[in-house]
Structure 1
Amino acid sequence: MKAGDLIGGKYRLARRLGQGAMGVVWEAVHEMTSRRVAVKLIVNATDNLRRRLLREARAAGQIAHRNVVEVYDVGETAEEDPFLVMQLLSGDTLYACMKREGRMAPARALPVARDIGRALAAAHAQGIIHRDLKPANVFLHREAGAPGELVKVLDFGLCKPMGVDEMLTIPGGLLGSPAYMSPEQIAGAPDLDPRTDIWSYGVLMFELFAGQRPFAGRGPDLINTVLTAPIPRLRDVVPGIDPGLDEIVAGCIVRDKRARIASAAEIVARLEPITERAQSAGPAPADDGDEGGLAVTMVYRPGANGPPSAGHKVAKTIPLAAYPGPLPGAPAPMREGPPPSYPQPAPPSQPEPPRSAPQGSFAGMQGQAPPPRLSEAQRSSWGPQPPQPQPPQPQAPPPSWQAMTGQNQAMMQPFPAAPQAPPERRWIGFVILTLGVLALVGVLAFVSLSGGRSSKPNAPAAPSAAPPSR
């Protein structure tokens, strides 16, 4: 067969989707309706394989459940090879997802496990035993326009009607997957009942939550392990797993089928509240704390008061904003009111400032001595500092000296402005200047008067009354 071939007179092959040991799965298009479907084609079919294909078609059509793949049609090719027409699924098998991603988070794995149980319960209600439940026969389907994943249980080719004693074999052995087969199925018991699917269901759930199967090995070693080895508990492989989930898995993987959980419906009923709790809690946070904020990690250290080591157990992590008490080793919180007095280093020797310091100098501020200036080495260690603009001295408010403590008092206080002349000196200068001006005015007036006198002409002599002598 190749792409473009028409089979059954109405299905045009489009592309190959996969191939197994007994057949090939193709994507095809219905010629009349243009519906895209999946065609499972058995090549070189034996009578046994023909019966299996017809059995799968009848079983899927009889169950008709949303968690079971739908079967639309069955037929034969021109070469008399049987084929099965099924719903075309989009997504991947559970086996491929676990192989790619490893162990699933409980918030995602629990709905998958629950829906597999629903499919089994629907099949058992119709009297059908799957007999080959495994991750490769579970598909995580993504429907167009629908959120999330829809579980689809596939391949009912090995299914058996209840009450029919039948042992499905091939030349040289049994049909099935030994890693998931129940002990009674491995032993070849002809009277299998739904509890054989319960065992397979428990093994699948163990692998889903733990990322590994409960029984390791291959071939005869694997079969011997399933039949005789101690059965591990899920809680021993995954510490912190929900105790109810651990009890469910342990109740499925029991060699005595009379001691197993009786039905898939009971498992679904017990999984429902666990699934709801996991979904309401949401996925676990990727990191501790509040989105990268500081956090407090509480460490359990029996009989120890020192710092934690590699052998100590981390109990929990609390966001820093939600921590109820003071942090260990942290300083006491700041309180309102006057700051406490701190011991300060002795300032370098300087001449004692006058007691009556002029206004505007640091010596006159609240009776405190001026702070020591920073040395060149200290200022150079801080790197280049931008120039600080100095506001006019009369408008500058006094600095908040009380808010500074310790070395900050010396480092953060601005340098004092140049002292202004005292008021009494300003008055003396004004008086001297006035007297000088007055003296200059007097001198100028005196010089002006003296010059006026010397510049007048001499008066003519008066005529004599006596006549001149003859």
Structure 2
Amino acid sequence: MSAPGEMIGGRFTLLAPLGSGGMGTVWRARDEVLHREVALKEVRPPDPAMTGPEAAATLRERVLREARALARLSHPHVVTIHQIVDAGAGTHPWIVMELVPGESLADRLQRGPLLPQEAATLGRQLLAALRSAHAAGIHHRDVKPANILLRTDPGVPGPPSAVLTDFGIAALQGSTALTATGDLIGSPEYIAPERVRGRDDHPASDLWSLGLVLYVAVEGHSPLRRAARRPAPRTRAG
């Protein structure tokens, strides 16, 4: 496992982990060449048992897919990718991205829901990001609060702006699917019904996920989570 102080690619020094998910860990790191801080995504298989050559090749292709997806986009509300660090077979690839100052929407919602005006502003920004991605033939497929960063620029007044990140399972139109038939890609709570049924080739599915994110942001809970039904009171016969 990686640790603070480790040098990646002979250029990037790991400082501290920023978060982790199913496909790896994101680190705060220092670019020793340009003397700036960046975000490094350490891409590892979700299952430690997936260490065979075929699984490694699939993982590597997923990393390249994410890099290509992000490289095709230039939008203020989509995270910027700088480069890939790939040391070859037997190693885990890394994605070097801009370090977005601020927190994720998931972290922000831990302190309570947003005001409707705040959610509307973020919604317009995220909609613009998705429209840009869809125009480039890219479906995000995992729009959720944890993949939405809230950029706060020091010295710049005003509310934070949304930045959509983690296109690791984005599907480029026309590319070959990398998961076995029947596999569910993404976070189930925010997946559109048609994607659950295996029909995920339409950008509207991302918009469904965005709508659910905004509902959760304002209401503080998902409409898909129902309270447990209480049993009906018993009545005595006669």
**Is residue 2:65 matched to residue 1:58?**
no
- Return the offset for 1:21: 2.8
d(CA) in 1 for partners of 2:149 and 2:221?
19
| 1:393-428 Cα deviation digits (max 9, x unpaired) | xxxxxxxxxxxxxxxxxxxxxxxxxxxxxxxxxxxx
Give unmatched runs, 5+ long, in structure 2.
Answer: 46-50, 227-238
Which residue is equivalent to 2:222? 213
Out of 198, 209, 221, the position equivalent to 1:188 is: 198
Distance in 1 (CA, whole Å) between partners of 2:71 and 2:182 is: 32
- TM-superposed CA distance for 1:170, in Å, is 5.8
Q: 1:107 is matched with which residue: 92, 108, 117?
A: 117
Q: Which residue of 1 aligns with 2:143?
A: 133
Cross-structure match for 2:27: 26
Range that drifts further, 8-17 or 131-140? 8-17
Residue number in structure 2 paired with 1:404: none
Q: Partners of 1:37 and 1:75 in 2: how far apart? A: 13
Distance of 1:140 and 1:36 partners within structure 2: 18
Distance, in Å, in 2 between the alignment partners of 1:53 and 1:127 is 18
Any runs of at least 4 consecutive aligned residues in structure 1 with deviations exceeding 6 A, and if so which?
none
Query: What secondary structure does 1:216 align onto?
Result: coil
Contact 1:141 1:149 in 2 (8 A): yes
Alignment partner, residue 83 of structure 1? 94
Pairing of 1:316-331 with structure 2 (within 5 A): none
Q: Does 1:93 align with 2:93?
A: no
Q: How many residues are matched?
A: 215
Kindly state the Cα deviation for residue 118 of structure 1 after the two structures are TM-superposed: 0.8
Residue aligned with 1:39, SS: strand
- The alpha-carbon distance between structure 1 residues 120 and 196, as it changes in their structure 2 partners (threshold 3 A), is same
| Distance across 2 between alignment mates of 1:171 and 1:4 | 41
SS in 1 for 2:154: coil
Counterpart CA distance in 2 for 1:207 and 1:27 is 28
- Separation in 2, partners of 1:195, 1:20: 25
| CA distance in structure 1 between the partners assigned to 2:58 and 2:83 by the alignment | 20
SS in 1 for 2:110: helix
Cross-structure match for 2:161:
150
Question: In the TM superposition, what are the counterparts of 1:44-443 in structure 2 within 5 Å?
Answer: 46-77=56-87, 80-101=91-112, 103-147=113-157, 148-164=159-175, 166=177, 169=179, 173-189=183-199, 192-216=201-225
Give the secondary-structure state (helix, strand or coil) at the position aligned to 2:69: helix
Q: Bigger radius of gyration, 1 or 2?
A: 1
Identical residues among aligned pairs (%): 37
Please give the secondary structure, in 1, of the residue aligned with 2:100.
coil
Structure 1: state its 5+ residue gaps.
218-470
Q: Answer yes or no: is the 8 Å Cα contact 2:182–2:198 preserved in 1.
A: no
For the aligned residue pairs, the C-alpha RMSD in angstroms reads: 2.2
Cα–Cα, structure 1 residues 157 and 43, in superposed 2: closer, same or farther, change >3 Å? closer
Q: How far does the alpha carbon of each residue in 1:218-265 deviate from its partner, in whole angstroms, 9 at most, with x for none? A: xxxxxxxxxxxxxxxxxxxxxxxxxxxxxxxxxxxxxxxxxxxxxxxx
Aligned 8 A contact 1:7 1:77 in 2: no
Q: For 2:182 and 2:202, locate their aligned partners in 1 and report how far apart those are by CA, in whole Å.
A: 24
Corresponding residue number in structure 1 for 2:48: none
2:30 alignment partner, SS class: strand
Q: Kindly indicate whether structure 1 or structure 2 has the higher relative contact order, using CA contacts under 8 Å at least 6 residues apart.
A: 2
Shift of 1:169: 3.1
> 1:70 deviation in Å?
0.6
Amino acid at match of 1:7: I
Measure the CA separation in 1 of the matches of 2:4 and 2:33. Answer: 18
- Check 1:106–1:27 CA distance in 2 against 1; reply closer, same or farther (3 A cut): same
Give the C-alpha shift of residue 164 in structure 1.
Answer: 4.5
**What is the Cα deviation at residue 173 of structure 1?**
3.4
Q: 2:232 maps to what in 1?
A: none
After superposition, what is the alpha-carbon deviation per residue over 1:126-169, rounded to whole angstroms, capped at 9, x for unaligned?
11111111111101011222222121001111111224473x53
C-alpha contact (below 8 Å) 1:77/1:83 kept by paired residues = no
* Residue type at the aligned position of 2:66: E
Instruction: Give 1:77 deviation, angstroms.
Output: 4.2
Contact 2:18 2:28 in 1 (8 A): yes
Deviations 1:65-91 (A, max 9, x none): 000001001022475210000011221
The residue number in structure 1 matching 2:233 is none
Alignment CA distance shift 1:198-1:215 (3 Å): same
